[in-house]
Chain A
Amino acid sequence: MSFISYLINGISLGSVYAIIALGYTMVYGIAKMLNFAHGDVIMVGAFTVFTIVSTLGLPPALGILVAIIVCTVFGITIERVAYKPLRNAASPLAVLITAIGVSYLLQNLALIIFGANTKSFTSVVAVKPLKLAEGNLVISGETIVTIIVGIAVMIILSLFISKAKAGQAMLAVAEDKGAAQLMGINVNKTIALTFAIGSALAAVAGVLLCSAYPSLTPYTGAMPGIKAFVAAVFGGIGSIPGAMIGGILLGIIEIFGKAYISSQMADAIVFAVLIIVLLVKPTGILGKKIQEKV
């Protein structure tokens, strides 16, 4: 019985990682850059919803909508101001470091605006928890919604990229920026759109993260962001279904590691598994083998 309950907990935690990882992998897959500020955009989304729903008392649906808009604007602005000027820098490290800088900027801004005090987030999920085995096993409404939203996002994103014109443009940009530009694709607009979608996903992830784990501080997004990045690498970074699978697996491994090995070593176990997976399959579970261009 406790095994099943751990499994459910693992899936709950993993579904949150998965939905964050989708945004990570999307931006990486297209723009080939790791947006370390992704976790903090999640925090911005969560604070937006908190302000609208808990402070102003407006309906949650409006809160989510505004959060998506706010995060999208943030995402485009960050890309425009902090990443775009460095896109052609000699080292890919330049953008990585900038991303870390943006991450701290967002955390400190939130610290100034909202303070360091922990805020308790009211869940926006109205779905009732599913009780099995005479109430001994509980699957929370948040988990159900997170998994459904995660799968829906996964399918919509995959369809968008393979079918829509803008999605095709993204693929082309991912393949070769220079050639895409020559073929008449506006590379800047395409990358901006990628960040817009990634950040909108971050808003949704922020709402679901804080609904499942209702504590909100300016640092809320940082650690789940890192874990989700690991999940994305685990599943094969750049692969959209990979992010979903990687996230859920990571959650299960973390919970099982805590439950059956050691609660102090949970993170060490997660990273050990990551190292093993990358040794065996360097591109991650669903990652494609890409030939290095010569």
Chain B
Amino acid sequence: MKKFMSIAMTSAMVMSLFAGCGNTAANGTADTTETATGTDTAAESTDASEETAASGGVFKIGGIGPTTGGAAVYGMAVQNAAQLAVDEINAAGGINGYQIEFKFEDDENDPEKSVNAYNTLKDWDMQMLMGTVTSGCCVAVVEKTSSDNMFQLTPSGSSVEAIQYDNAFRVCFSDPNQGMASAKYIGENGIGTKVAVIYDSSDIYSSGIYQKFVAEAANQPFEIVSAEAFTADSKTDFSVQLQKAKDSGADLVFLPIYYTEASLILSQAATMNYAPIFFGCDGLDGILDVENFDTSLAEGVMLLTPFAADAQDELTQKFVTSYKEKFGDTPNQFAADAYDAIYAIKAAAEKAGVTPDMDVSAICEAMKSSMTQITLDGLTGVGMTWDASGEPNKEPKAVKIENGAYIAM
């Protein structure tokens, strides 16, 4: 009997490990299916028809990302938006008078396939790489581009290692930098004075943001009054974390987590009659798409996200309209990142005065220094600049949920 019990308990422990994996996987996949909310703005069509290259050479820019498999939503968005940007640039005369040829290879979000895709693109004589889309693949490919000295700009690889070499840059904020940007945004805009944090200590994304947030909070005019964690194995009940936030008098609760848990936190806070301001990062993007979710619970929730499809500025409007016209759905933040990436390449290439007849390494050397000199007004930030580490400097943008829609702030 005892022996059987011990076998049973052991397998229970093993099961709980598996269950942990399952939950993480759920988070990952749930994240891939996020979609942006729609807008119905007046159609403003953009003529993206191609002109034939007048001059001799063309720039060959490659792209890598998952266009099939679990993370296909991300890869497709990047491929589409990058193509849109390339078509626009070509129609307007190209880079330094040279047309761009863009080729996108699928990596199925598998690092090994990503390296294969990179080799395929090299055989095609790629001169610059816009990719890869996902962090895991980017970490693998950056090793190759670094040894080949190929210029690389990832739209959305957010892990720290994704751009660890000096030939690589990114458009999105790194995971930890979202924490810093959030703290700055809250402090500079005076959104809260007493801040509580609820984070997932078993998730690198969440705990990475949390640590940077705490570090930056020391320089900001607000105080962290409570910081409570949860783990993948206990993420149904948040009553304690909320109670502590409430008892400590927090007027803002920072949620650097994914929207699945956030939706539970919002409903439990409502049950407790606790109504602080909730502030999150891009992980909360998608909360309005939770099926059957009572969106009134999310009313007033703010989140730091680089892109809101219903922002009213001209650039966003134009991009969203032409994207919808061409591909039939509303672009998400990955699309915006990719669109900015192509324009950043254009700006840096023009600044450096590179031409298609230069070799890959020479282009990379020129681009590396010119990337740090350009200023780009893009979809994901106004006045974006880059430093030599490859990290973007841009003002964080926040959106607020009002009447069940994301409204740019």
Contacts and interface: CB of A to CB of B under 8 A. Distances in A.
B292 A121 contact: yes
A255 B263 CA distance: 20
Contacts of A5: 243
Residue in B1, B15, B243, B244 with the greatest tally of chain A CB atoms within 10 Å: B15
Contacts of B234: 223, 254, 258, 266-267
Contacts of A150: none
Nearest to B35: A117
Contacts of B235: 223
Contacts of A115: 33
A207 B19 CA distance: 21
A83 interface: no
A217 B31 CA distance: 13
A223 B260 contact: no
Given A119-B292, A292-B1, A2 B247 contact: yes
B5 interface: yes
A92 B5 contact: no
Nearest to B12: A229
Interface string A255-269: 100110001101100
Given A122-B292, A223-B23, A223-B233, A217 B12 contact: no
Given A116-B26, A119-B291, A222-B22, A263 B229 contact: yes
Interface in A17-39: 34, 36
Interface in B246-280: 247, 259-261, 263-264, 267, 271-273
B295 to A, nearest CB: 10
B389 interface: no
A215 B18 contact: no
Interface stretch (A6-14, A74-82, A154-162, A240-248): A6-14
Question: Interface size class for chain B?
Answer: 35 or more
B201 interface: yes
B237 A213 contact: yes
Contacts of A34: 8, 11-12
Contact of A215 (B5, B16, B240, B264): B264
Interface string B7-38: 11101100110110011001001101100000
Contacts of B9: 233
Interface in A217-233: 217-219, 222-226, 229-230, 233
Contacts of A168: none
B46 interface: no
B222 interface: no
B201 A264 contact: yes
Given A118-B260, A267-B234, A255 B22 contact: no
Interface string A94-136: 0011001001000100000001111111100000010000010
Contacts of A120: 263, 267, 290-294
B19 A264 contact: no
A117 B239 contact: no
B228 A263 contact: yes
A50 B290 CA distance: 13
B236 interface: yes
Contacts of A129: 271
Contacts of B271: 129, 138, 140
Contact of A267 (B4, B233, B240, B263): B233
Contacts of B4: 92
* Residue in A92, A219, A230, A233 with the greatest tally of chain B CB atoms within 10 Å: A219
A280 interface: no
Nearest to B229: A264
Contacts of B233: 223, 267
Contacts of A12: 237, 239
Contact of B26 (A93, A217, A290): A217
Q: Which of B2, B18, B259, B260 is most buried by chain A, counting CB atoms within 10 A of its CB?
A: B260
Contacts of A259: 240, 243-244
Main secondary structure of the interface of B (DSSP, over half): helix
Contacts of A258: 228, 234, 240-241
Contacts of B45: none
Contacts of B143: none
A290 B4 CA distance: 13
Interface in A55-69: none
A121 B267 CA distance: 11
B39 interface: no
B231 interface: yes
A218 B19 CA distance: 11
A144 to B, nearest CB: 13
Contacts of B98: none
B289 interface: yes
B22 A107 contact: yes
Contacts of B294: 120
B1 A2 contact: no
A5 B15 CA distance: 32
Given A266-B234, A292-B1, A219 B22 contact: yes
Contacts of A9: 237, 239-240, 243
B230 interface: yes
Given A226-B19, A292-B2, 18 more contacts: A12-B239, A13-B237, A50-B292, A54-B292, A100-B15, A100-B18, A117-B289, A119-B292, A120-B267, A138-B273, A215-B264, A217-B30, A219-B26, A233-B12, A263-B230, A264-B201, A264-B229, A267-B231
24 contacts: A2-B243, A13-B239, A34-B12, A36-B11, A50-B292, A54-B291, A92-B4, A100-B15, A116-B29, A117-B291, A118-B291, A120-B291, A129-B271, A219-B23, A222-B19, A222-B23, A223-B19, A223-B233, A230-B12, A233-B9, A255-B240, A258-B228, A267-B233, A290-B1
| Shortest Cβ-Cβ A-B pairs, 10 listed | A120-B293, A9-B239, A116-B29, A258-B240, A119-B291, A222-B19, A118-B260, A263-B228, A264-B229, A213-B236
